[in-house]
Chain A
Amino acid sequence: MMVLDWATAAPAVGAAFVASTVEVVEAFTIVLAVATLRGWRPALTGAVAALAVLAVVVASLGPALNLVPLRGLQIVIGVLLLLFGLGWLRKAVLRAAGLMALHDETAIFERERTRIGTEASGARSADWLAGMAAFKAVLLEGLEVVFIVLAVGAGRGLMLPAAAGALAAFVVVMAVGLLIHKPLAKVPENTLKFGVGVMLSSFGVFWTSEGLGAPWPGGDWALLGLVAVFLVAALALVSVVRPRAVEARA
């Protein structure tokens, strides 16, 4: 039986859990908006259909990834992670500095309710339209979760621990969401997104370096160092650009 080294698995599980929490919260907001407008039947039908599509994507991609040489996989995933992570971190820095509006689940919930309500009003296929809104939301956010699981897990054979992290996030968010029956506005999404941007960018540099044949000294422990460097740099950038937001508001 394979025994996983916790130092190796923990960053993958943690990154997958935190990143997936953000995505599942966003998907839940739309599904809840649909459910409060048209009932749970179209909301759950759309969500379950999207989960089925995602299962097909994962079942097709998983075996295909085994055919790609490890170094090639590390480069492709590393570069995609860098693009995704730096983009995410850029937005997080701008939000933290006050240069971009904060992500607000309650506002998104109200906006989506209005949009779906307008689209569905008078339409004979109102439930179909509402179900499609839930389908799209779960599919789009779910694809991001699939990418994150692949990205943090595939380079080291940690797909299962990363998938377990994502599944745990899904279970926790759904359980809390269904219990309180409101958008999960109290989840500190902006802080989580900042952390996820830092982690994804760090994984991106780590995997790309490994793929290029230029591994970091210290092996997997170097990830912690990369996380620290990205975190300090991102916080420094926040303090540099924050005055611009103050000037813009003045």
Chain B
Amino acid sequence: MSASLTLNLTLTDWLALLSHFLSLSLLSIGGAITTAPDMHRYLVIEQHWLSDSQFTSSIALAQAAPGPNVLFVALLGWNVGLNAGGGMGAGLLAWVHALLGVVITMAGIMLPSTALTFVAARWGHRNRELQWVRAFKQGLAPIVIALLLATGWILATGHGSSLNNWPVWLLTGVSALLVWRTRLHLLWLLAAGGLLGWFGWV
């Protein structure tokens, strides 16, 4: 990723990175991506540990790669580590720093929320016959569905909502219909999207 920085991170800095991600973890209701704006504020604007383009390409790459979207956090840690280790050219030292960055950011973003969810979900499942637990699940169902539609909307309009982007919108709409109405394998859809983008049609 282009435009990297060269940093000199102390132990205190690494601990600050860890504690920032630990604190974001419990705020990440609706997924880690909802805290991305705050990660940007901290890593890029406040600490200057990442360049702007490193930040955005981390998110884009994690979206395009297989696996849960939370892996963009691992890429942020990776790039902070690379910057601290002297960049890709610095060899082994850079790799060690980058891996340290991955471990710190991923542990930070996952441990508190995962521990809380583990306990709370167990409690909920044991008490699933309680009227309030059932009401919670029934009540949230339509909201959850709307959140999925809203996430699709936000991702599709992320490149700007002007009418010039109609091919992107059309592609998103057609994919949504195909997922809803057919059992076409999802990989074919993604491959088609990648090709259309490669040739500059969307």
A and B: real partners?
A: no
